[in-house]
Amino acid sequence: MATPALIYAFDNLGPDRFAELCGLLLAGRYKGFLLSGPGPDAGVDAELDAILGEWLPEERSALFGRLVPPAERVLFQFKHKVTARVGQASSRSQLLRLYRAEGNRVSEVCKPLVVAKAPQAYVLVTNVEVSASFRIAFQEACRSANPAICHYQVIGIDELEQWVRMDHLLRSQYFPAIFGPPRFDLHVKMHAGTFHTASATGGYGPGTRYLEVAVLNVGSETSYVERVDFRNIVDGEERLAMEVPFPAGHHPLGSDPFRRPLPPGRKQSFRYFASKFASIEPKGRVFLVEAMVQDEIGNTYSAPFTEEVRQFLLDPHGSEGA
C-alpha cells in the first residue's frame, strides 16, 4: 500500500504535472512510449484529459502479466484526483462513473479522442489506490461500453509509488521534500555470452553460456548489493520474482559476492549459467521480463531483458559446459 506521504504528494502534483511524471515513468519502462495531445480538431474533448500516452512496442513486451505483440497500440489515459479531499473510496466511485455508459453519459473509452486512436488495449493511469474489486468493475464497465478494445488495465498509486522509488532522479525531482537528492543509485545492465576458455578452478569449461548482470554505482555513497531476482511471465501469469541464487559460499563464473562494498563509480558483476533459464518449467511458455537488483536498504533497481538475450537464455539446445 502506498505511504501517506506519497499519496498527498501525488495529490499536490495537479493533472498536468501528474501526466508529465507518469509519461516519464512509462517511457523509462516501455521502449517506444510517447505522450501526445489531441490536436487542434479535437473540439471539446481537448479541454479535458488532453494528454494521452501511446505505445506501439517494437518487439514482444510485457505489460502487467500479459504479452503485448509488436505494433499493438496501447493507449494510456491519465486521471488525477485530490484523494485527501474526498477519500479513496469516493475517488474510486467517481472514476468508475466516468467509465460506465449510463443514460446520456458517454463512457471515457467511447470518447472521440479514444475511438480515433483505435487501440487494442487501454490503460487507465491514476493516483487513486486501486482495489481488486475496483479493477474488476473497471474492466467490466469498459468492456461493456467498448468491446472493440480487447484489453483493459489500470495502474494505480501503488504501482506508481514503486516506480518512483526505483527512479532515483525522478523521485528527487518531483518529490524533493520526501526523498532529497539521490545518494544511493545503481545502474543495471545485462548481456549474455559464451566463455571460450576453461576456468582455472575447473568450475566451467569452454562453451559455457552465461548471463551477466552488471551493477554500476552512479550514486554518491557506497552501496551493497543484497540480491538479484528475475521477474517473468509464465502462461500469462506474472511471477514477481524468480530468484536464481548462488550456492552458499560459491560464486560461479567469477561473480562478485553479494554484500561486498560497492563504492561510487565502481561496478560489480553477477553471472548466471544460461541453463538455469533454459530449464525453467513449463518449457516454452516463459517470457523473461526484467532483472531486479536490491540493495541492503531495500532500494530496487531493474533492467529489462532484450529479445536477443531472452532467446539466447531460453534456447535449450545451446552449448553448456557446466
- Domain match, 237 and 127 both: no
**Residue-level pLDDT at 137:** 96
Are residues 206 and 171 part of one domain? no
320 is a domain residue: no
Print pLDDT tens along the chain (322 aa).
678 888 889 999 999 999 999 999 999 889 889 987 654 444 433 335 678 999 999 888 988 878 899 989 999 999 999 998 889 999 999 999 999 988 788 999 999 989 999 999 999 999 999 999 999 999 999 999 999 999 999 999 999 998 998 888 898 899 988 887 778 899 999 999 888 766 555 556 667 889 999 999 998 999 999 999 998 888 777 776 666 666 666 677 788 989 999 999 999 999 988 888 877 665 557 889 999 999 998 889 999 999 899 989 887 565 444 3
> Considering the domain boundaries, does residue 234 fall inside one?
yes
Q: Say how far apart CA 97 and CA 88 lie, in whole Å.
A: 14
Same domain for 149 and 293?
no
In three-state secondary structure terms, 92 is: helix
The one-character DSSP state at 188 is E
Domain containing 187: what range?
Answer: 183-314
Domain shared by 147 and 28, yes or no: yes
Boundary (domain end) residue, out of 142, 177, 212: 177
Q: Are residues 187 and 173 in the same domain?
A: no
Write out the three cell numbers for 281: 518449467
Per-residue pLDDT, 92: 94
**Cβ(286)–Cβ(311) below 8 Å:** no
322 domain residue, yes or no: no
C-alpha cell at 251: 560464486
Is 106 inside a domain boundary? yes
Q: Residue 279 has what DSSP assignment?
A: T
The dihedrals phi and psi of 297, each to the nearest 5 degrees, come to -100, 10
Distance, CA of 30 to CA of 227 (rounded, Å): 24
Q: According to DSSP H, which parts of the chain are helical?
A: 4-11, 14-29, 83-86, 88-99, 112-115, 132-145, 157-166, 168-174, 176-179, 275-278, 307-314
Per-position DSSP letters for 105-138, written without gaps between them:
PPPGGGSHHHHTT--SEEEEEESSPPPHHHHHHH
| Domain-ending residue, one of 155, 177, 199 | 177
Q: What pLDDT is stored for residue 45 in this prediction? A: 39
Residues 120 and 215 grouped into a single domain: no
Q: Nearest to residue 264, comparing CAs of 211, 307, 224, 221?
A: 221
Using an 8 Å Cβ cutoff, are 48 and 19 in contact? Answer: no
Q: How far is CA 296 from CA 223, 266, 317, in A?
A: 8, 17, 37
Give me the pLDDT at residue 245, please. Answer: 62
Contact in structure between 146 and 56 (CB atoms under 8 Å)? no
Longest dimension (CA), the chain: 76
Burial (CB count <10 Å: 0-12, 13-18, 19+), residue 118: exposed
Task: Name the domain count of the chain.
Answer: 2
* Same-domain pairing of 125 and 267: no
**Could you tell me if 115 and 155 lie in one domain?**
yes
* Beta strand pairing call for 66-68 and 52-55: unpaired
Same domain, 69 and 107: yes
Q: Give me the sign of the Cα torsion angle 282, 283, 285, 288.
A: positive
CATH number for the domain that contains residue 289: 2.60.40
189 and 159 in a common domain: no
Residue 8 lies in a domain: yes
Residues 271 and 288: their CA atoms lie apart, in Å, by 16
Per-residue confidence (pLDDT) for residue 161, from 0 to 100: 92
Set of cell numbers at residue 250: 560459491
φ and ψ at 107, to 5 degrees?
Answer: -65, 150
Angle at 63 between CA 148 and CA 276, to 5 degrees: 140
Looking at the fold, whether 133 and 42 belong to one and the same domain comes out as yes
Angle ∠(134,140,143) on CA atoms, nearest 5: 135
Is 281 a member of any domain?
yes
Q: Does residue 28 belong to any structural domain of this protein?
A: yes
Say if 124 falls within a structural domain: yes
> Given 143, 177, 211, which residue is the final one in a domain?
177
Q: Are 67 and 195 within one domain?
A: no
Does the N-terminal peptide bond of residue 282 adopt cis geometry, omega within 30 degrees of 0? yes
